[in-house]
Amino acid sequence: MAEIGFLYTEIRHAVRHLRRWMQPRRVPTPLAIQPAVSWIQPEPYGQVLIIGPWNYPVQLLLAPLVGAIAAGNCAVLKPSELAPRTSEVVAGLIARTFPPEFVTVVTGGVEVAQELLSRRWDYIFFTGSTAVGRMVARAAAERLTPYTLELGGKSPCIVTADADLDLAARRIVWGKFFNAGQTCVAPDYLLVERPVMQSLLERLKGCIQRFFGPDPAASPDYARIVNQRHFDRLAGYLRNGQVAAGGQTDRDRLYIAPTLLVDVDWNAPVMQEEIFGPILPVLPFDDLEEVIGRLRQRPRPLALYLFTRSATVRDRVFGSLSFGGGCVNDTLVHLSNPHLPFGGVGESGTGAYHGRFSFETFSHRKAVLQSLPLGDPMVRYQPYGRKLWLIRKVMR
């Protein structure tokens, strides 16, 4: 669903629509510069660098490549060193598929990434943490290189009292614990209207057991934490509240059970940093306006999810809060629609891609105006003198 199937969708969509995307687009020409025709002509930037993360090491490296190729660029891919086996597979796939002067994979650690960023590129596309995104932006600024940053953040999920709680529980558990929570758009924390909090908690617990069985460690559908450094960071969050479900850990097996945390303080570390793991803080609220006020004070997230039956509530939340993208009565799935742009805002990212938006991300939109041989109005030329009144009239 998240790796291969997603890429099939992106590739099919690009192949189906590319001929139309690449056509020059006619635009109007003001009267003051007639007779002429104007158009926007997309062209490739040239050589692009794509740096991918470890959590979806196929999709998040190759999906941008679909757009880069569609727009006519050559590309160097830098996969994450934290997923070394997948990096080897992707490198072999690319080597068998493309001449190296068109697309090349460069593997290695942080020092390789730093060396790549020190080179001149026509465009840089980075997916990863906000902290590393700042480093990429600084490196790009040295050469005034345009870039896209696909970052993360703390994506809230709001459940109002009128929501379908059974549906909400299923979709929140699926979205949060997919890939053991190691998803940049996973619900990071849950805000539940107080009258339905206990009822929703019971449903969340029931869904965890239905999806992963009585022992999630034995489930073939439940992932592990990527490494011990991330495991230790996540295990520390378990002390930031009361465990309502899960909480079991095994450092040797990099296992953390699907966990619900309650009695969490807004100032706790688990509420300050992106969790990126299978721990879901659940906080009650009494007033939606209070929630909106709190969220407006925090960095703008990559995603926001809202479960409600009320169009008024939906419009109030989505009209008041800025975020990259999101869903009403669902989680994660907005990024699977190639007709929607996917990207962040502020600290959650810069730029967007997927579908046509990928083609546009990797294309320079060249502006062209062609004057037509249908006369040459002398009003534009000096001396202006008595023509000033006519110039003012035309320009207005």
- Of the listed 10, 74, 150, 327, which one is catalytic? 150
Pairing of strands 25-27, 36-44: antiparallel
State how far the alpha carbon of 275 is from the alpha carbons of 36, 37, 325, in Å: 56, 53, 19
Tokens of 190: 């849950």
Strand 36-44 with 47-51, pairing? unpaired
Q: Is 150 a catalytic residue?
A: yes
Interatomic CA distance for residues 396 and 391, integer angstroms:
9
Q: Which of 74, 157, 184, 327 is catalytic?
A: 184
Query: Residue 260 to residues 117, 206, 282, 338, 357: CA-CA distances in angstroms?
Result: 40, 12, 7, 32, 36
User: Which residue from 195, 205, 171, 164 is spatially nearest to 326, judged by alpha carbons?
Assistant: 171
DSSP assignment string, 221-241: T----S-HHHHHHHHHHGGGS
Rounded Cα–Cα distance for residues 324 and 36 (Å): 39
**Residue 184 falls in the annotated catalytic set:** yes
Taking the C-alpha atoms of residue 153 and residue 274, their distance in angstroms, rounded to an integer, is 5
Using CA atoms, how far apart are residues 19 and 17, in angstroms rounded to an integer?
6
For the chain, how long is the longest CA-to-CA vector? 89
The dihedral through the CA atoms of 276, 281, 285, 290 has a sign that is: negative
Q: In what order do the strands lie in the sheet with 147-150?
A: 103-105, 74-78, 47-51, 123-127, 147-150, 349-350
- Kindly write down the DSSP assignment for every residue of 146-209, as one continuous string: -EEEE-----EEEE-TTS-HHHHHHHHHHHHHGGGG--TTS--EEEEEGGGHHHHHHHHHHHHH
Closest CA to 272 of 347, 182, 352, 335: 347
Catalytic residue numbers read: 150, 184
